[in-house]
Structure 1
Amino acid sequence: MLKAGSTAAAPALQLEEVRRVHSGGCDRVTAPAGVTLGFERGTFTALVGPSGSGKSMLMHCAAGLDRPDSGRVVLDGVSLGSRSERELALLRRGRVGLIFGVHRLQQGLTVYQNIAMARRIAGHRAVPQQVDAVLRRLGLCAVRHRPMSELSDGGRQRVTVAQALVSHPAVILADEPTGALDAPSARQVLELLRGYVRAARRTVVMATHDPVAASYADRVIFLRDGAVEGEVHRPTAHAVAERLNARP
């Protein structure tokens, strides 16, 4: 049985000296390379860096989808290192919202059915009012009864965001959540994530390469070559872009 060992003051997500060695073309790449980070409850953090900086692998380790070669991950008070794959899956269902592409969508089901299914998988009843509330916030009411196969890429991405939010998880991990969206839809999703953090005191960690998306976060952490290069609080899009474009 999974039990949280956290207190109210403990971070929602803690990474301690997390290191992962994996294949990068012809070479072996270490990314993340001994990263230590804490993500407090009620905060919105963006991980920003060039391709190969380790931000996506860091997110996978944080979710228990990939195991680090060394180091420790503590998610909502649970240390992931000694957990079985089944225990990790149960942990994700109950406490983590994942926005990692659109692979969790069932193409033969409607928008409403996909969101309701995500809530049931997390161990909750699919209360229509709660599903409807998420549909309204993401502008999906008009397509609620349409099968996923009829939606655009941007529409599918918004349904994935809805799946992550509908069960009110303690931590949301989002890897490029606005990558397939036009500017108005991206703004809608980012404002929703930011509002969720503030209203529900939940934690959002987002990997992105987009300075505008990063500017919605409370804190931006810059990664390069698998290591933390620095961070900025209360970021602006201009400040993030300048940092990204600076030569190492």
Structure 2
Amino acid sequence: MFGSSIYLRDRPAFTGGSPQAVYEELWQRGRKGRLRTRAFLAAATLVLCGMLINAVFGIVMAVLVAAADTLVHWRIYNSSRVWRLGLRGVERMDRFLRYTLERRGHRVLHSRTVPGHGVADELVVGPGGVWLVHNEAWSPGAEVSQHGGRLFIDGRTQSKLVGALTARAEAAAAAITRVAGTPVTVTPVLAVHGGKLARTPFTADGIVFAPPLKLIRWMRRNPTADRSSEEIEALAQAVVRALPIGSRSSIQAAA
């Protein structure tokens, strides 16, 4: 299609009026205000520290305050990157798993099809168990929380999301058990990319929710099994036979 980027596929996130486009526009509009605030903080620090100590100390502290303010705003903006691109965070989680759990003897199988239940983003087979990892990116202002053991996004329950994820994990466990010839439990977890989480990790509707790195740490610290490297490899092969590889495009289409 003429006028489209050859590097980025068409996504609703890049269309005018989408939540991502509005957020980007508002962020750019607020740039002058952020710069004014940063300059004021640096100037105030320079004067105060210069009067209390000396001019050199004041300059150093002013630079540090300006740098800290820049870092804080960069982290706020960067935390929404996955959502702003209209993605769910699958590729980001793939990288985290590659540089953490895979280096510690875990096997990570990407985009495996669970018959009748869609595609699992990642299946992690490790000494402590088998986890089905699902990824979701929410807007920076979205409140992700649990109340009474149930998941709420901006005050609304998410029965469809948690129901589908639980059913996917149960179907994956049944398929792997048939091939492996031994009972296998698959634990569903959800990596949250963006949004506002008051406390993590937290459990809602039987599923653990956390940002990627905290979720990986939770998986390591909460084993459900005790397997040797040989057992891990045999179980990973059972996953390969039981769950055919899915299409990455099908994951992106669902985003």
TM-score bin, normalised by smaller chain: under 0.3
Q: What TM-score does the superposition give when structure 1 sets the normalisation length?
A: 0.22
Q: Which has the higher helix share?
A: 2
Q: Which has the higher contact order (CA 8 A, sep 6+)?
A: 1
Q: TM-score, normalised by structure 2?
A: 0.22
